[in-house]
Amino acid sequence: MIRVDDIHKSFGAVRAVRGVSFNAPDGKVTGLLGPNGAGKSTTLRILYTVLKPDAGTASVDGADVVKDDLKARQRIGALPHGSGLYPHLTARENIAYFARLCGLDKAEIDDRVAEIVRLLEIEDFADRRTKGFSQGQRTKVSLARALVHDPQNVILDEPSNGLDVMATRSLRNLILKLKDAGRCVLFSSHVMQEVAALCDDICIIANGQVAIDDSVDGIRSRTGCDDLEEAFVRAIHLVRPE
Amino acid sequence: MMSTTIVVFLKEILDNLRDRRTLASALLMGPIFGPVLFAFVINLSIERSLSDVERTMELPVIGQQHAPNLVRYLESRNIDIIDGPADAATAIDAVKTGANDVILIIPENFGEQLQDTVPAKLELVSDQANTDAERDARRARGALHAYSQELAAVRLSARGVNPLVLRPLNIDEVDVSTPSGRSAMLLGMMSYFFIFAALMGGMYLAIDTTAGERERGSLEPLLCLPVTRDQLILGKIGATCLFMMLSLSLSLVSFFIALKFMPLEQLGMTPNFSPGVMLAALLLFVPFILLGAAVMTLVASFTKSYREAQTWLSVVLVAPTLPILIVSILTLRPRLEFMFVPSLSQHLLLVDMVKNEPVNSLHVSISVVSTLIFGALLTWICARLYRREGLLG
C-alpha cells in the first residue's frame, strides 16, 4: 500500500512535482501515466527514497519515506529507470548480490534466485556475465533483482522501455501474477494502451500535477472520450502549465 | 551493519578481480612500472658518473718545457695544461688561498732523472683538507700515476719483461663525490613509487564505486535496497583499500627483487633492503592506504563520468610527490612537524630505514596516528557526501 499526499519537488528553478497525491492499494495495479518530463520519475524516486520531497508526505505500508526510509525500502522492490547491471557478474550473481543485501538467509538465497530466474525466464542466460546483454535481457535481470526478496510493494519506472513484443508480454503476465498474489504494483509509462491493458487505477500526471486519478472506465466517462489516447490527450490539457 | 558492509566488500572484490583494467593497474602498473623506471634512473646515474672522468679539467703546470712528453700525455687525458705561477712559493700560496685547486711543478732536472732511470721528482701541490679541490687533485694524481705506469711498462718491455707483472690488480674507480644528493633523490623516488603503486591499485575501484556505478545505472537500484548508504560506502572503500594493499605489497616485493640486480654500490649507495625493512615499510604505508582510498573516492564522487574521474584522479596520483619533491630538493632532515604530513612522513621514515639510520619511534607514532586520523576524517566526509541527493547526478 502506497500513499502519496501532496508532494512537491523542485530542482533549482524547475518545479518537477507540484502537489501530487494518489493511493496505490494492495492487490491492484496502479499506473502512473504522463508525457515525458511530467514528473513521473521524480514521484517514483521520492517513493523509493532516493529523493526527498520538498513538501508533502508519502508512505509505504505506513512507513514514511523520509523519516523511516530504511523501513520503507524494506517493503519495496524497485526498478529505477535505465537500471544498469554489473557487467563482470553473471545474471545470477547480480540477482544474488541484491538478495544478500536485502538480508535474505544464506539457505534462502539460492532457492529464491532459482525461483525468480525461472519465473522471469532467465534460465538460458542466467550464468553468463551480463556484459553485452540485450536491453530485454538487462531489464529482465533488473526486474528479477528488484523482486528477489518478494517485496509487498513493487515500483517500476517505465519497465517496458526497449522490450520486444514477447518480453512485454511476459512482463505483463508477471505484473498480473503479482497483483493476484495481493501485491501493490505501481508502474509508470507514457504509453496509454499498455497502461489501459493492465491497470485498475490510472493516475495521469502532466506538468508535475495530477490531471485525473481514476479507473479506466472512469477516465473514459470523465473526459467524454471512448478512445483512450484521445482521453489521455484531453486529460493532460486539464492541467495548465505554470 | 557489518554483514551488509562485508557483502558489498566481497562483491566489489569479485567484480574487480574480473575487471582486466583494475587488475592491470593493481598488479602490473604499480609493481612493474616503479622498479623499471628506478632501474633506468640508476643506470643513467652510473653512466653520468662514469662520464665525469672525461670532463676536461685545467691544470696549471710550472716548468712545462722540462717534460713535453708528460704534458702531451696529460692533454691526451683531457687535462688542459695552462701556465702556472712563477715559482713554487707562489704556487703554494695560490693553492692555500684557493685560487688554484692543484698545481704541478716539474723540476728542471726531470728529463735527466728519467734518462738516468732514477725516480724522477714531480711536485703536486694540493690542499687535501679541501674536499672540493681534492677531486681535481686526485684526478691529476691518477693521471700522473698512469703516466708513471706507462713509463715503467716501456722500460720493462725494453728489457724483455711483460709489463703486466707490474699490474697485479686492475682497479676501476668511479667517482661520485659530487652528486651526494643523488642517492637521497633516488630514495625519494622509491618512496613515491610505493605511494604510486598503492594509489594505482585502488584507482579504478574508487572510480567504479562512484562515477562508474552512476554512469552504468547500477547506483540507483542499489540505493533502493534496505541498506544504509554508510554501509555501502564503507564496503566500497574497504575493497579499494584491499586492492591498494595488494598493489603496494607486490610493488615492495618487486623492488626487493629488482634491487638485487642493480649496481647500487657503484653509486656509493649501500641501502638496507632486508625483508624486515620491507615489512616495516608495508606497515608504515598501511595508514596511507586508507587516506588514499578516501581521497580518491571523494574526488571521484564529485565527477560526472568515468572519464572525468580518471582525469582528476591522475592529479591525485601526482599530489603526494609535492612534499617529497620539496624536501628532497632542499635536502631537509626529518623533523617532528613533517611527521604530520601524509606521504612526506612515510617518505622520510622509509629513507631513514633504508639508510640504516636509527628511526625515531615518536616520529613513527605521529606519522601513523596523524595519517590514520586524516584517513578516517576523509572517509567520514565520503560517507556524508554519499548520503546527499545529488549523488545520482
* Per-residue pLDDT tens over the stretch A167-189: 888 889 999 999 999 999 999 98
Kindly state the percentage of chain B with pLDDT values over 70. Answer: 91
Is pLDDT above 70 for B389?
Answer: yes
- Do B154 and B14 lie in one domain? The reply is no
What is d(CA A139, CA A79) in angstroms, rounded to the nearest whole number?
9
What is d(CA A3, CA A26) in angstroms, rounded to the nearest whole number?
11
CATH superfamily of A1-75+155-242: P-loop containing nucleotide triphosphate hydrolases (3.40.50.300)
Distance from CA of A49 to the nearest CA of B (A): 7
The pLDDT score that the predictor gives to residue A3 is 96
- Cα A14 versus chain centre, distance: 23
**Does B358 touch chain A if contact means CB atoms closer than 8 Å?**
no
- pTM across the whole model: 0.78
**What is the average pLDDT across B123-141?**
79
Test B14 with A89 for CB contact under 8 angstroms. Answer: yes
Question: What would the grid cell of residue A184 be?
Answer: 501493490
Is pLDDT above 80 for B131?
Answer: no
Q: Which residues pair with A31 in a beta bridge?
A: A187, A202
What is d(CA B273, CA B261) in angstroms, rounded to the nearest whole number?
12
Report residue A204: phi and psi, to 5°.
-90, 125
- Do B223 and B184 lie in one domain? The reply is yes
CB-based contact A184:A28 (threshold 8 Å): yes
**What is the average pLDDT across B265-277?**
75
What's the CATH code of the domain at B95?
3.40.1710.10
pLDDT grade for B64, boundaries at 50, 70 and 90: confident
Q: Is residue B175 part of a domain?
A: no
**What is the average pLDDT across B143-162?**
85
| Chain A interface, Cβ < 8 Å to B | 45, 48-52, 70-71, 73-74, 76, 78-80, 82-89, 93, 97-98, 100-103, 129, 142, 145-146
- Do B188 and B111 lie in one domain? The reply is no
The pLDDT score that the predictor gives to residue B222 is 95
Instruction: Using the CB atoms, write b or e for B288-315: b if 16+ within 10 Å.
Output: bbbbbbbbbbbbbbebeebeebeebbee
Looking at residue A151, its amino acid is: P
Q: Is residue B322 part of a domain?
A: yes
DSSP state of B359: P
Helix or strand or coil: residue B127? coil
Chain A residues touching B222 at Cβ < 8 A: 101
Helix or strand or coil: residue A202? strand
What is d(CA A56, CA A43) in angstroms, rounded to the nearest whole number?
12
The pLDDT score that the predictor gives to residue A242 is 54
What is d(CA B100, CA B59) in angstroms, rounded to the nearest whole number?
9
pLDDT grade for A35, boundaries at 50, 70 and 90: confident
- Do B107 and B226 lie in one domain? The reply is no
Test B221 with A145 for CB contact under 8 angstroms. Answer: yes
Is pLDDT above 50 for B178?
Answer: no
Test A78 with B228 for CB contact under 8 angstroms. Answer: no
Distance from CA of A93 to the nearest CA of B (A): 9
- Do B129 and B20 lie in one domain? The reply is no
The pLDDT score that the predictor gives to residue B172 is 65
Total number of domains in chain B? 2
Q: Is residue B339 part of a domain?
A: yes
Location of each CATH 3.40.50.300 domain in chain A: 1-75+155-242
What is d(CA A125, CA A140) in angstroms, rounded to the nearest whole number?
11
The pLDDT score that the predictor gives to residue A24 is 95
Q: Is residue B24 part of a domain?
A: yes
pLDDT grade for B87, boundaries at 50, 70 and 90: confident
What is d(CA B221, CA B224) in angstroms, rounded to the nearest whole number?
5
Is pLDDT above 90 for B286?
Answer: yes
Domain containing B72: what range?
A: 55-166
- Cα B172 versus chain centre, distance: 25
What is d(CA B198, CA B246) in angstroms, rounded to the nearest whole number?
8
Q: What would the pLDDT profile of B342-351 be if each residue is shown by its tens digit?
A: 988 998 898 8
Final residue in a domain of this structure, among B137, B166, B195: B166
Beta strands in chain B (DSSP E): 57-62, 79-83, 102-105, 123-126
Distance from CA of A119 to the nearest CA of B (A): 20
- Cα B305 versus chain centre, distance: 35
**What is the average pLDDT across A25-48?**
93
The pLDDT score that the predictor gives to residue B371 is 95
The pLDDT score that the predictor gives to residue A229 is 81
What is d(CA A58, CA A3) in angstroms, rounded to the nearest whole number?
5
Which range is least confidently modeled, A124-133, A176-185, A200-209, B137-146?
A: B137-146
Q: Is residue B161 part of a domain?
A: yes
- Do B155 and B303 lie in one domain? The reply is no
Q: Are strands A2-11 and A76-79 parallel, antiparallel or unpaired?
A: unpaired
* Residue of B46 and B95 predicted with greater confidence: B95
Is pLDDT above 80 for A114?
Answer: yes
Test A146 with B217 for CB contact under 8 angstroms. Answer: no
**What is the average pLDDT across A12-36?**
93
Q: Which residues pair with A188 in a beta bridge?
A: A32, A157
What is d(CA B287, CA B297) in angstroms, rounded to the nearest whole number?
16
Which range is least confidently modeled, A51-60, B43-52, B114-123?
A: B43-52
Q: What would the pLDDT profile of B13-39 be if each residue is shown by its tens digit?
A: 999 999 888 888 888 877 888 788 888
Final residue in a domain of this structure, among B166, B199, B233: B166
Q: Is residue B173 part of a domain?
A: no
Q: Is residue B86 part of a domain?
A: yes
Final residue in a domain of this structure, among B166, B196, B217: B166
Q: What would the pLDDT profile of B361-382 be if each residue is shown by its tens digit?
A: 999 999 999 999 999 999 999 9
Kindly state the percentage of chain B with pLDDT values over 90. Answer: 29
The pLDDT score that the predictor gives to residue B321 is 81
Q: Is residue B172 part of a domain?
A: no
What is d(CA A80, CA A156) in angstroms, rounded to the nearest whole number?
6
The pLDDT score that the predictor gives to residue B179 is 40
* Best mutation target, B13, B218, B224, B229, to test chain A (most A CBs within 10 A): B224
Q: What would the pLDDT profile of B228-237 be if each residue is shown by its tens digit?
A: 999 999 999 9
Q: How far is CA B234 from CA A3, A165, B227, B365, B376, in A?
A: 33, 42, 12, 25, 11
What is d(CA A130, CA A152) in angstroms, rounded to the nearest whole number?
27
Q: Which of A41-55, B158-172, B201-215 has the highest mean pLDDT?
A: A41-55
Rounded-to-10 torsion of CA B40, B47, B176, B195: -10
CB-based contact A232:A238 (threshold 8 Å): no
pLDDT grade for B50, boundaries at 50, 70 and 90: low
**What is the average pLDDT across A141-161?**
93
Q: Are strands B123-126 and B102-105 parallel, antiparallel or unpaired?
A: antiparallel
Helix or strand or coil: residue A205? strand
Burial grade of B266 (CB within 10 A; 0-12, 13-18, 19 or more): middle
Chain A residues touching B220 at Cβ < 8 A: 45, 50, 80, 83
- Do B269 and B324 lie in one domain? The reply is yes
**What is the average pLDDT across B207-236?**
92
pLDDT grade for B142, boundaries at 50, 70 and 90: confident
Chain A residues touching B8 at Cβ < 8 A: 101
* Best mutation target, A88, A95, A147, to test chain B (most B CBs within 10 A): A88
**Does B14 touch chain A if contact means CB atoms closer than 8 Å?**
yes
**What is the average pLDDT across A3-16?**
94
The pLDDT score that the predictor gives to residue A98 is 96
Reported ipTM: 0.93
Distance from CA of B289 to the nearest CA of A (A): 25
The pLDDT score that the predictor gives to residue B180 is 40
Is pLDDT above 50 for B177?
Answer: no
- Do B108 and B201 lie in one domain? The reply is no
